C-alpha cells in the first residue's frame, strides 16, 4: 500500500520552479532516501507533505488523505532540519507541549516521554533547559518529539546533519528499528553513505524534478556503481562542481 503518493506535483515561488512535475510513491514499511543538492526542492516537497502549503498543480496524498487536514498529520512524525526548540523548556516539558498538541492525555505523554528520553540518550539531561543543549542533543530531542505520538510515517529533514559518529549510529539504529516496527520513513539527506546503509529505495531530485529512483539493491547489483557515482552521474555538471 502506498503511504505517500505524489502525482505530477509542481510548486513555484515567483519565477522559480521549486518542484516540477514530481511523481513518487512510498510503500508502507519502506525507508526512502530523498537526495539532491541544495535547492533541489527536497524541503519544499517535505513542506507540502506536511501540509504547510498546497502544490500549484498535481495531487499529493498521505495515507490517501490531504496533509493539510490535521487528522492526516496525526499519522506523521516530523523532525525539521534545523532543530531549534524553545530554549526555556527542558526536554520533558517540550515533549509535554507537543503531546498536548497531539491531543494525548497527560499520563500517556509522561509514559512516552520517559521511554523516548531514555531511548534517544537524553535521560541524564532531562531536567536541563534546552538552551544548554548541544546541536546533537537538540537533534535527539527532535527525534523524540517526532516519535512521541507513535506515528506510522516519519519524515526527517536532513536528520544526520551535525551529528557525531556515535549519534549517527544511534540514529541509524533508531530508523532501522522503526522500519522493523512496520513504520514508513522518508528522509532527505546529503549523506549518501547513510542513505546507502539504511534505505530500501533512493530518489534523486534535480532542479525540482525526479531524475533517478531505484532500490539500494539496484545500486549494489552493479559492481562498478555505488550511490555516489549514480548521484554524480544524475546531477551532471552541477554536482561535479559542488563535489569537494
User: Which residues sit at the interface with other proteins, rule CB under 8 A?
Assistant: 47, 50-53, 70-74, 76, 78-80, 82, 84-86, 88-89, 93, 96-105, 129, 142, 145-146, 149, 155
Helix residue ranges, H only, 10-147: 42-49, 70-73, 91-101, 106-119, 135-147
CB-wise, 13 or 221, nearer to other proteins?
13
Helix/strand/coil for 162: coil
Neighbours of 174 (CB within 10 A): 18
Residue 17 Cβ vs other proteins, minimum distance, rounded to whole Å:
16
Residue 55 Cβ vs other proteins, minimum distance, rounded to whole Å:
12
Among residues 217, 211, 240, the alpha carbon closest in space to that of 228 is found at 240
Which residues, 6+ apart, have CB-to-CB distance to 130 below 8 Å? 85, 86, 87, 88, 89, 90, 91, 94, 138, 141
CB-wise, 47 or 206, nearer to other proteins?
47
CB-wise, 69 or 242, nearer to other proteins?
69
Helix axis angle for 91-101 and 106-119, nearest 10°, is 130
CB-wise, 93 or 114, nearer to other proteins?
93
Residue 56 Cβ vs other proteins, minimum distance, rounded to whole Å:
12
Residue 37 Cβ vs other proteins, minimum distance, rounded to whole Å:
21
CB-wise, 101 or 220, nearer to other proteins?
101
Residue 32 Cβ vs other proteins, minimum distance, rounded to whole Å:
18
Residue 203 phi/psi, 5-degree rounding, is: -125, 130
User: What's the rounded Cα separation, in Å, for the pair 13 and 106?
Assistant: 41
Amino acid at each position: 500500500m502506498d503511504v505517500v503518493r505524489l502525482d505530477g506535483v509542481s510548486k513555484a515561488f515567483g519565477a522559480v520552479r521549486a518542484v516540477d512535475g514530481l511523481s513518487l510513491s512510498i510503500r508502507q514499511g519502506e525507508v526512502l532516501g530523498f537526495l539532491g543538492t541544495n535547492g533541489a526542492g527536497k524541503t519544499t516537497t517535505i513542506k507540502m507533505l506536511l501540509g504547510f502549503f498546497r502544490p500549484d498543480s498535481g495531487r499529493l496524498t498521505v495515507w490517501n488523505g490531504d496533509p493539510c487536514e490535521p487528522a492526516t498529520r496525526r499519522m506523521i512524525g516530523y523532525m525539521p532540519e534545523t532543530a531549534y526548540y524553545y530554549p526555556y523548556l527542558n526536554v520533558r516539558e517540550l515533549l509535554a507541549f507537543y503531546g498536548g498538541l497531539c491531543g494525548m492525555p497527560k499520563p500517556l505523554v509522561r509514559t512516552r516521554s520517559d521511554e523516548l528520553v531514555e531511548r534517544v540518550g537524553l535521560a541524564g539531561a532531562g531536567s536541563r533547559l534546552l538552551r544548554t543543549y548541544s546541536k546533537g542533543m537538540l537533534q535527539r530531542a527532535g527525534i523524540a518529539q517526532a516519535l512521541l505520538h507513535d506515528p506510522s510515517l516519519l519524515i526527517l529533514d536532513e536528520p544526520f546533519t551535525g551529528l557525531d559518529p556515535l549519534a549517527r549510529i544511534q540514529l541509524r539504529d533508531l530508523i532501522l528499528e522503526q522500519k522493523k516496527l512496520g513504520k514508513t520513513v522518508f528522509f532527505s539527506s546529503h549523506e549518501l553513505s547513510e542513505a546507502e546503509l539504511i534505505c530500501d529505495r533512493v530518489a534523486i531530485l534535480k532542479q525540482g524534478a525526479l531524475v533517478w529512483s531505484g532500490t539500494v539493491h539496484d545500486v549494489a547489483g552493479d559492481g562498478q556503481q555505488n550511490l555516489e557515482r549514480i548521484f554524480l552521474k544524475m546531477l551532471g555538471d552541477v554536482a561535479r562542481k559542488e563535489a569537494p
